[in-house]
Amino acid sequence: MSVEIVHVYRGGCVESVHRGDIVAVNRRGDVVFQYGDKNKRTFWRSSAKPFQTIPMVESGGIEKFKFTSKELSLMTSSHGGEEKHVMILESILKKIGKNLTDLDCGKSKPMYEGAFKKLLESNKPYTPANNPCSGKHSCMLTLGIIKGIDLKNYIELDHPIQEIMLRTVSEVCDIAAADIDIAIDGCGVPVFGLPIYNMAKGYSKLSHSSASDMRTMSLQKIASAMIGEPYYVAGTSRLDTILMEETKGKILAKLGAESVYCMTIMDKGIGIAMKIEDGGYRALNQLVPDLLIGHGFISNDEYEEIKKRLNLLIKNHREQIVGYMKSVF
């Protein structure tokens, strides 16, 4: 059963409550800590993206197309649709010989409000390049090119590319494919439903390792790109980017829609997965830094610098501070 994890105060009174479930596991699958139900099932949404890049990496795509760390990072991203994100996406498409019209993710308003305002001011429409999932879709196209797969309808569940995605998630999360729920994500591709425990197991495998098998080495390349180029995983004022920048890659983090959130404690081999029951994002900005410092994963200095960059106070239309949030786990 989900538990109360964040209280929202107005004045000195609790006005709203966010409930959720959190679990942390090590590489062996042992539970390090949990709040609520470690077997809470939910859709992984965009927190699955680092693992959806695995087949492309294992197929030699980085070497074949000479992808940079920024490009690989963008493939794992829910980017803000900012100018630099669009530039990197265009670079990927150019390298694989494809265009924006080949992306079947749909057009989307940029996640970063500043990028959206720029488009409005210049009277320009948003395009698939602004879609936060465009990097993932460019990765799927790359995989199809490498393997010689027909890219028509590549987003459909029975397409070979999506069958590969499902198989990979099943393997990395140690869960049978038949036990994974399937629905349709915001960008049209299949999305995976599974316990947060198995999500955390997957994220534990992104931590530092000296193993030299192909799967581990591929995961190391993906993790290295994400923590090395955190701006391209998310963007301006985003929790993922802030955590990875302020901890200098000690924490790897990735948001999923409907307030799924996953992290890796890189030097401890620990994966963390959580789901905010109501799907609201605001609880994450308060919860995640408190969780990390509460379990000794970040220093006091890192905690303070992270909090400085996050919007944690409740303000009214006159910019008066009228409330705040507090973690209660």
Look at residues 243, 259, 291 and name the one whose alpha carbon lies nearest to residue 40: 259
Q: How far is the C-alpha of 269 from the C-alpha of 209, rounded, in Å?
A: 8
Average of per-residue pLDDT across 161-180: 98
What dihedral do alpha carbons 247, 44, 147, 68 form, nearest 10°?
-20
Cα angle for residues 103, 132, 180 (degrees, 5° grid): 85
**Average pLDDT score, the chain:** 97
Who contacts 121 (Cβ-Cβ below 8 Å, separation ≥6)? none
**pLDDT class of 270 with cuts at 50, 70, 90:** very high
Domains of the chain, CATH where assigned: 3-327 (3.40.710)
**pLDDT class of 329 with cuts at 50, 70, 90:** confident
Average of per-residue pLDDT across 126-140: 96
Provide the token pair at 323: 């409330």
Q: How far is the C-alpha of 8 from the C-alpha of 22, rounded, in Å?
A: 19
